[in-house]
C-alpha cells in the first residue's frame, strides 16, 4: 500500500500540463461531465495511462483521476482539521499536540477514504495516515536537517 501511495505521488509530479480539454479523450470527458456536472474552472493534465482534472466543486478544489477508459480512479482534496472525523481530530489533539500541521488531505478510492496529515516540529516531520476504521498511524518519519 505504501508503495502505491508513493508511486501515485511521484506520478502526480511527473504530469505534463495540457490546456483546457485539448488531448483529453471523449470517454474521459463524458465520464467527468456525468460525475461532476456542476464543476467549474476545470484544468486537465495527463500522465502515462491516466488523466487528472483539477476543478472547483462545492467551493473547494478537487483532484479527480481517470483511466483512459473513463473510469474514476480516485479523488483527493485538501481539507482543514475541522473536516476530519471527530475521532481523528481527538486523536491528533491527544497524541500530536506538540506538532504543527503543514499538510492535510483526503483521498477517496474504491478501497475507501484515507486521510494523510503532515505534522512538524523543529526537528521532525511526520506523515500520518488514517481510515474510518483505523486511527492515525505513522506512514513516514523524517529528521529535519
What's the domain count of the chain?
Answer: 2
User: Predicted confidence band at 26 (pLDDT cuts at 50, 70, 90)?
Assistant: very high
Residue 145: band (very low, low, confident or very high) from pLDDT cuts 50, 70, 90:
confident
Q: Could you write out the DSSP letters of every residue in 7-56?
A: HHHHHHHTPEE--TTTT--HHHHHHHHHH-TT-EEEEEEEETTEEEEEEE
Flag whether pLDDT at 4 surpasses 60. no
Residue for grid cell 471527530: 86
Looking at residue 110, the DSSP 8-state letter turns out to be T
Say which CATH number the domain at 98 has. 3.10.450
85 & 68 share domain: no
Residue 12 structural domain: 2-74
Q: How many Å apart are CA 135 and CA 86, to the nearest integer?
A: 11
| Same domain assignment for residues 61 and 6 | yes
pLDDT confidence tier of residue 10, bands split at 50, 70 and 90: very low
Let me know whether 52 and 115 are in one domain: no
Identify the pLDDT of residue 20.
55
Choice between 14 and 145, residue whose per-residue pLDDT is larger: 145
The pLDDT value given to residue 15: 36
11 or 52: which carries more pLDDT confidence?
52
pLDDT in tens, 73-131: 999 999 999 999 999 999 999 999 999 999 999 999 999 999 999 999 999 999 999 99
Cell numbers for 106: 483526503
Q: Name 89's Cβ contacts closer than 8 Å, sequence gap at least 6.
A: 81, 82
- Is there a single domain that holds both residue 64 and residue 89? no
Amino acid at each position: 500500500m505504501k508503495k502505491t501511495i508513493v508511486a501515485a505521488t511521484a506520478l502526480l509530479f511527473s504530469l505534463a500540463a495540457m490546456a483546457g480539454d485539448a488531448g483529453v479523450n471523449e470517454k474521459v470527458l463524458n465520464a467527468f461531465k456525468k460525475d461532476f456536472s456542476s464543476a467549474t474552472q476545470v484544468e486537465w493534465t495527463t500522465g502515462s495511462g491516466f488523466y487528472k482534472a483539477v476543478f472547483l466543486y462545492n467551493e473547494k478544489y478537487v483532484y479527480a483521476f481517470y483511466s483512459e477508459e473513463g473510469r474514476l480512479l480516485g479523488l483527493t482534496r485538501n481539507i482543514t482539521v475541522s473536516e476530519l472525523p471527530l475521532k481523528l481530530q481527538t486523536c491528533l489533539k491527544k497524541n500530536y499536540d506538540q506538532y504543527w500541521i503543514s499538510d492535510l488531505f483526503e483521498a477517496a478510492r474504491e478501497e475507501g477514504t484515507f486521510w494523510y496529515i503532515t505534522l512538524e516540529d523543529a526537528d521532525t516531520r511526520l506523515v500520518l495516515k488514517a481510515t474510518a476504521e483505523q486511527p492515525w498511524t505513522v506512514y513516514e518519519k523524517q529528521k529535519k536537517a
